[in-house]
């Protein structure tokens, strides 16, 4: 009976709140926070902390060299001026990524000094107070090079044990390097700490394999994603490679470790998300053909186990290819699975020569769980937002991050340039990603599930994209009193046998910064 009444309540809530995606004007300055002005607009990144704060990193040129700076932004979009973190060098710093892991911040990039003949990978670890963590590497940093010449970081992941892996380019070679949890190069990995990856190149258009993204599965296997040129046609196709923990090919995946997604000519993979609860990988594809007047976007799903298409999704695993006449030039970057089963895609769009008012602006679209475009909030199927209110001359050249706050809101971190205002970086917050209140009962596509529910003894929290990740939780009664709180991990039992019978709100915040609330019945 309680569950029935709760469903009626949720249905009532869903009629009150719409799914129209709008700027959250209470965040920052009318929905936007500008966190830096810098010399090079693409050298920036942002992470979300478990307490809802953001740490941003950016590189700027000074009179004596280059600085890497950290800045903190509060959950409401205001800048915390009491926080600062910085490392200064008298040479050139190239910034690729900022990563949060176990209350540490990792800067990943490269570093070179005059006359700039050689550039080494550079990994710096900071404490959350902005100080350099001197227990990491050598006085807080590790420099690594595959040999003489230039090394450029392309991507970076950290496993559950704290080992870090850098996907990097050296001249025309690509490799995967490993550091242990203390920042020391693991000489037992590959040869001298690195595994050479043949013919992977993101710069040379003649190379057959163009891989620019690194992902880490929960079982420690690596996936590299991008595109591969078909030798017969010379055209790009969406392409994945999977490696074992030692860097060797995973022969159980696709064709001896390699997978070309069928019917994906002219496309590349822009992002992917693991869905561990149904053993699938959700993939975002970008159609890019210079002979076409409009770019196209579509999704696919494959099985984690072997790379086979998931026939239960869309049309045998692949959606239709969508294009929009009023949004022709797309640069999509991120995809995420929302708590109400819908799929959110973000990036930028330009239509400058036809409509100068659309000058590399933020682009947001939403798919239904079956892969069809969701037109419930817009007849166009997408939203275009000014990059800063009310000035659309600032471009969203680099859409760096998408943060799903799991409460119907999301935040986009991006940077761009304007001839009038120079280079800036921003956070922008939006509401209406999901129907408020419908991320609870009986949703098989939800990223978060609690079972058994109802329960009198224990509950287990499961996440479709993470396993064995730490989170803090509070169990609140319907009066608002905290009846139980603690720390746990996904897939571990939480004892609730001391709670009186009733209905409660289970709220959690993971170490990855995600927040979610669920209704449980005891």
10 Å CB burial of residue 246 (0-12, 13-18, 19+) is exposed
Give the burial string for 25-62 (b: 16+ CB within 10 Å, else e).
eebbeebbbbbbebebbbbbbbbbbbeebbbbbbbbee
* pLDDT at residue 19, rounded to an integer: 64
* pLDDT at residue 500, rounded to an integer: 86
* pLDDT at residue 242, rounded to an integer: 96
Least confident of 65-79, 99-113, 447-461: 447-461
463 or 37, which is more confident?
Answer: 463
Residue 441 has pLDDT above 70, yes or no: no
**Mean of the pLDDT values across residues 161-184?**
92
The H or E element containing residue 16 is helix 2-16
Least confident of 45-49, 197-201, 430-434: 197-201
Least confident of 105-119, 267-281, 436-450: 436-450
Helix and strand numbers (H, E) in the chain are: 1, 35
Q: At 513, phi and psi to the nearest 5?
A: 95, -5
Share of the chain above pLDDT 70, in %: 85
Q: At 276, phi and psi to the nearest 5?
A: -70, -25
10 Å CB burial of residue 274 (0-12, 13-18, 19+) is buried
Among 271-285, 408-422, 436-450, the range with the most confident prediction by mean pLDDT is 271-285
Other CB atoms within 10 A of residue 165 CB: 23
Q: What is the 3-state secondary structure (H, E, C) of 289-333?
A: CCCCCCCEEEEEEEECCCCCECCCCCECCECCCECCCCCCEEEEE
Give the burial string for 279-313 (b: 16+ CB within 10 Å, else e).
ebbbbbbbbbeeeeebbbbbbbbbbbeebebbeeb
Residue 444 has pLDDT above 60, yes or no: no
∠359-364-369 over CA atoms, to 5°? 155
* pLDDT at residue 439, rounded to an integer: 39
**Mean of the pLDDT values across residues 499-507?**
84
Given 3-state DSSP classes, what are the helix, strand and coil percentages for the chain, each rounded to the nearest 5?
5, 50, 45
Q: What's the pLDDT band for 519 if we cut at 50, 70, 90?
A: confident
Q: What's the pLDDT band for 395 if we cut at 50, 70, 90?
A: confident
Instruction: Name 472's bridge partners.
Output: 487, 509
Residue 140 and residue 134 in contact, taking contact as beta carbons nearer than 8 Å? yes
Query: What is the torsional sign of CA 214, 228, 254, 312?
Result: positive
Residue 352 has pLDDT above 80, yes or no: no
Selection from 126, 100, 104, 123 nearest residue 178 by Cα: 123
Local structure of 140: helix, strand or coil:
coil
Instruction: Name 484's bridge partners.
Output: 475
Residue 394 has pLDDT above 70, yes or no: yes
* pLDDT at residue 355, rounded to an integer: 60
* pLDDT at residue 287, rounded to an integer: 85
- What are the Cα distances from residue 132, in Å, to 72, 86, 136, 352? 15, 8, 9, 43
Q: What's the pLDDT band for 252 if we cut at 50, 70, 90?
A: very high
For residue range 123-133, list pLDDT tens digits in order. 999 999 999 99
Other CB atoms within 10 A of residue 439 CB: 23
**Mean of the pLDDT values across residues 309-328?**
91
Selection from 291, 301, 207 nearest residue 259 by Cα: 301
* pLDDT at residue 282, rounded to an integer: 97
* pLDDT at residue 207, rounded to an integer: 55
Instruction: Name 185's bridge partners.
Output: 179
* pLDDT at residue 95, rounded to an integer: 87
Residue 201 has pLDDT above 90, yes or no: no
Q: What mean pLDDT, rounded, does the chain reach? A: 84
* pLDDT at residue 250, rounded to an integer: 96
Residue 475 has pLDDT above 70, yes or no: yes
Query: What is the torsional sign of CA 419, 422, 425, 431?
Result: negative
What is the spatial distance between Cα 13 and Cα 5, in angstroms, rounded to a whole number? 12
Residue 222 has pLDDT above 70, yes or no: yes
The domains located in the chain, with CATH, are: 448-521 (2.60.40.1930)
Task: Tell me the whole-structure pTM to 2 decimals.
Answer: 0.81
* pLDDT at residue 40, rounded to an integer: 55
Other CB atoms within 10 A of residue 202 CB: 17
Local structure of 15: helix, strand or coil:
helix
What is the spatial distance between Cα 23 and Cα 30, in angstroms, rounded to a whole number? 8
**Mean of the pLDDT values across residues 300-318?**
96
**Mean of the pLDDT values across residues 197-221?**
74
* pLDDT at residue 465, rounded to an integer: 65
For residue range 34-55, list pLDDT tens digits in order. 887 665 555 789 999 988 999 9
The H or E element containing residue 374 is none
341 or 361, which is more confident?
Answer: 361
């Amino acid at each position: 009976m309680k569950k029935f009444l709760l469903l009626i309540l949720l249905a009532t809530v869903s009629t009150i709140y719409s799914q129209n995606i709008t700027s959250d004007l209470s965040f920052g300055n009318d929905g936007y926070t500008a966190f830096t002005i810098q010399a090079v607009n693409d050298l920036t990144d942002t992470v979300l902390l478990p307490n809802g704060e953001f740490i941003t990193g950016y590189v700027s040129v000074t009179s004596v060299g280059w600085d890497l700076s950290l800045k903190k932004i509060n959950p409401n979009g205001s800048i915390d001026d009491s926080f600062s973190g910085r490392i200064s060098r008298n040479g050139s710093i190239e910034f690729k990524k900022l990563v949060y892991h176990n209350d540490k911040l990792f800067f990943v990039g490269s570093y070179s000094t005059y006359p700039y003949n050689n550039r080494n990978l550079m990994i710096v670890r900071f404490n959350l107070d902005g100080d350099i963590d001197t227990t990491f590497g050598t006085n807080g940093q590790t420099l690594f090079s595959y040999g003489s010449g230039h090394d450029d970081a392309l991507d970076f992941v950290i496993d559950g044990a704290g080992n870090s892996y850098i996907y990097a380019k050296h001249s025309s070679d690509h490799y995967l390097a490993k550091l242990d949890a203390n920042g020391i190069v693991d000489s037992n990995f590959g040869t001298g700490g690195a595994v050479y990856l043949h013919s992977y190149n993101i710069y040379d258009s003649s190379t057959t394999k163009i891989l620019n993204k690194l992902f880490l599965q929960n079982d420690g296997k690596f996936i590299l994603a991008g595109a591969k040129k078909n030798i017969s046609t010379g055209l790009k196709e969406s392409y994945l490679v999977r490696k074992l923990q030692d860097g060797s090919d995973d022969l159980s995946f696709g064709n001896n470790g390699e997978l070309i997604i069928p019917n994906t000519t002219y496309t590349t993979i822009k992002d992917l998300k693991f869905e561990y609860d149904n053993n699938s990988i959700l993939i975002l594809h970008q159609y890019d053909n210079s002979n076409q007047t409009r770019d196209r976007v579509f999704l696919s799903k494959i099985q984690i186990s072997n790379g086979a298409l998931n026939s239960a999704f869309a049309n045998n695993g692949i959606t239709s290819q969508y294009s929009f006449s009023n949004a022709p030039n797309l640069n999509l970057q991120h995809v995420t699975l929302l708590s109400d089963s819908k799929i959110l895609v973000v990036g930028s769009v330009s239509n400058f020569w036809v409509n100068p008012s659309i000058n590399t602006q933020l682009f947001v679209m939403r798919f239904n769980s079956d892969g069809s475009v969701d037109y419930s909030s817009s007849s166009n199927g997408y939203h275009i937002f000014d990059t800063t209110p009310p000035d659309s001359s600032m471009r969203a050249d680099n859409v760096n991050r998408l943060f799903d706050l799991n409460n119907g809101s999301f935040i986009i971190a991006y940077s761009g340039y304007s001839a009038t205002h120079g280079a800036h970086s921003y956070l922008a917050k939006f509401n209406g990603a999901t129907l408020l209140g419908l991320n609870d009962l009986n949703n098989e596509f939800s990223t978060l599930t609690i079972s058994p529910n109802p329960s009198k003894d224990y509950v287990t929290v499961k996440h479709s994209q993470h396993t064995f990740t730490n989170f803090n939780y509070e169990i609140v009664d319907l009066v608002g009193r905290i009846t139980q709180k603690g720390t746990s991990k996904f897939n571990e039992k939480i004892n609730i046998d001391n709670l009186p019978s009733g209905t409660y709100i289970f709220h959690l915040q993971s170490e990855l910064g995600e927040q979610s609330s669920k209704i449980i019945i005891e």
